[in-house]
């Protein structure tokens, strides 16, 4: 062994050993995304297996992108065909152009596309694009809305203190105070609050919104009202469709709700499980990415080593092709609807207060008697109950986020039976939780 060769690590099996190694080389022992105590070894279709060999029905699906399930044979075939031809070029490639054409055909607000590698980048550039186009600086976002990891996005994402609107609360260290002053916060689903902010501030470049905020649906007329307000004040409307794009419908939230933004951010599904995202808008707005068209003062510089990566592009194109087939969205909604029914029927029969919040394609259970409409009302009456519920589901073979269920087209009747059995055990775990005996828990 030379001085430049690292020592070979000892063979490792099992999650406890991987956890110890991760703690040595990763802050908090993980990638920052999910429970660092679980290591997924492989996925196939609707199921994943951890490093201890435990098998789960996957309702996390990589936080959304694996809508077709893991290892879909047509996506794998497309990727394997591309791999020997090249994995990345830092130059144009035909597959990226074809993917952009497919996105434009699907998403109403899009005439042109600029690719990036992550949804957070897409949101960041969408905000910067709005500022470049309007010449204004302030941004309105909604409390609890998730738009990636940029400084603006980390304003009032999950504030622990309830401050008066429109004050922004930073959720992360390292954000300059000036960013707080550039972001105004409004409660989701409150059109009057948004109207008041736009009337009081003439320097707003954009309103950015998740059309379905996390799992909270928009009230009737809310998105259309935002569209009207933005038009009235010369403000650009940004839809963050990283999650909703190609999930709610093939045309995303724009197709579902019939409201067309000025700019949208897309991610997750459009990369078919690979790192790819996009920002899209009309030609006039997108011209800011073109130095010759925009001029030096109006040019928005953007580049990325993996932007338009051909492997991600072919995976995304094939995923979108499968989703265009007859019955794909009817099946997705039927599967999601059954997952909802399994849970709410069991909880209702047990007398456990709850709300199923979201859409058949994306939802979760909140243990509350309130009807959630915004960040402050979309909470469990006792968060410990939710922890018990999710732990019981995982212990029974259901892999999910603490706050979302992502149905996929790979789900089978066997998976639904696994879910029924897991829910029955989770209901018993909640009923036996001390909070119920003490009169604080669900009734």
Q: Which of 56, 125, 268, 400 is catalytic?
A: 268
Cis, peptide link before residue 166, omega less than 30° from 0: yes
Own/partner pairs, 287-291, CB within 8 angstroms, 24+ separation: 288/129, 288/132, 288/133, 289/114, 289/129
- For residue 315, what is the enclosing H or E element? helix 310-323
- In sequence order, the 6+-apart residues with CB closer than 8 A to the CB of 152 are 124, 127, 139, 141, 179, 182, 183
* Helix/strand/coil (H/E/C) assignment for every residue in 21-78: HHHHHCHHHCCCCCCCCCCEEEEEECEEEECCCCEEEECCHHHCCCCCCECCHHHHHH
Residue 386: both structure tokens together: 């939710």
- Does 146 qualify as catalytic in the annotation? yes
Q: Which of 56, 146, 257, 406 is catalytic?
A: 146
Closest alpha carbon to 75 in 306, 274, 324, 251: 274
- In sequence order, the 6+-apart residues with CB closer than 8 A to the CB of 17 are none
Query: Environment class of residue 192 by beta-carbon count within 10 Å: exposed (0-12), middle (13-18) or buried (19+)?
Result: exposed
- Does 24 qualify as catalytic in the annotation? no
Beta strands in 259-417 (DSSP E): 263-266, 277-281, 355-359, 362-366, 398-399
Which of the 8 DSSP states describes residue 216?
B
- Does 413 qualify as catalytic in the annotation? no
Report whether 149 contacts 120 (CB < 8 A): yes
Q: Which of 240, 360, 364, 381 is catalytic?
A: 240
Our CA dihedral for 65, 130, 167, 154, rounded to 10 degrees, sits at 30
The DSSP code sequence of 178-208 is HHHHHEEEE-TT-HHHHHHHHHH-S-EEEEE
Residue 81: CA count within 13 A, CB half-sphere: 11
Report whether 320 contacts 106 (CB < 8 A): yes
Which of the 8 DSSP states describes residue 393?
H
> Which active-site residues does the annotation give?
146, 240, 268
């Amino acid at each position: 062994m030379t001085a430049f060769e690292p020592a070979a690590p000892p063979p490792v099996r099992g999650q406890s050993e991987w956890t110890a190694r991760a703690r040595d080389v990763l802050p908090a022992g993980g990638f920052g995304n999910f429970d660092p105590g679980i290591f997924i070894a492989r996925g196939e279709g609707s199921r994943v297996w951890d490093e201890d060999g435990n098998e789960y029905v996957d309702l996390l699906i990589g936080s959304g992108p694996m809508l077709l399930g893991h290892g879909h044979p047509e996506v794998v075939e497309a990727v394997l065909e591309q791999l020997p031809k090249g994995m990345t070029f830092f130059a144009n490639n035909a597959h990226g152009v074809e993917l952009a054409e497919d996105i434009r055909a699907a998403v109403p607000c899009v005439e042109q596309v600029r690719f990036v590698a992550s949804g957070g980048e897409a949101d960041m550039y969408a905000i910067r694009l709005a500022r470049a186009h309007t010449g204004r600086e302030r941004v309105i976002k909604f409390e609890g809305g998730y738009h990636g990891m940029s400084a603006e996005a980390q304003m009032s994402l999950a504030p622990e203190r309830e401050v008066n609107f429109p004050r922004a609360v930073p959720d992360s260290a390292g954000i300059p105070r000036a960013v707080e002053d550039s972001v105004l916060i409004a409660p989701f689903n409150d059109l009057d609050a948004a109207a008041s902010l736009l009337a009081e501030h003439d320097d707003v470049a954009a309103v950015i919104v998740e059309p379905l905020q996390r799992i909270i649906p928009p009230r009737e007329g809310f998105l259309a009202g935002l569209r009207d307000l933005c038009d009235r004040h010369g403000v650009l409307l940004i839809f963050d469709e990283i999650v909703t794009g190609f999930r709610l419908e093939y045309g995303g939230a724009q197709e579902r709700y019939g409201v067309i933004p000025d700019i949208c951010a897309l991610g997750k599904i459009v990369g078919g499980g690979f790192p790819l995202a996009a920002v899209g808008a009309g030609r006039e707005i997108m011209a800011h990415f073109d130095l010759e068209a925009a001029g030096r003062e109006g040019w928005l510089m953007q580049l990325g080593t993996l932007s338009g990566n051909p492997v991600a592009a072919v995976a995304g194109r094939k995923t979108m092709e499968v989703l265009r087939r007859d019955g794909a969205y009817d099946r997705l909604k039927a599967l999601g609807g059954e997952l909802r029914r399994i849970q709410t029927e069991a909880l209702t029969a047990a007398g456990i207060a709850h709300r199923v919040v979201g859409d058949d394609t994306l939802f979760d259970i909140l243990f509350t008697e309130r009807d959630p409409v915004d960040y402050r009302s979309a909470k469990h009456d006792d968060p410990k109950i939710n922890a018990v519920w999710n732990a019981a589901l995982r212990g029974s073979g259901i892999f999910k986020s603490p706050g979302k269920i992502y149905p996929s087209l790979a789900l089978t009747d066997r998976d639904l039976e696994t879910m029924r059995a897991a829910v029955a055990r989770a209901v018993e775990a909640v009923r036996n939780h001390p909070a119920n005996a003490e009169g604080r828990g669900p009734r």
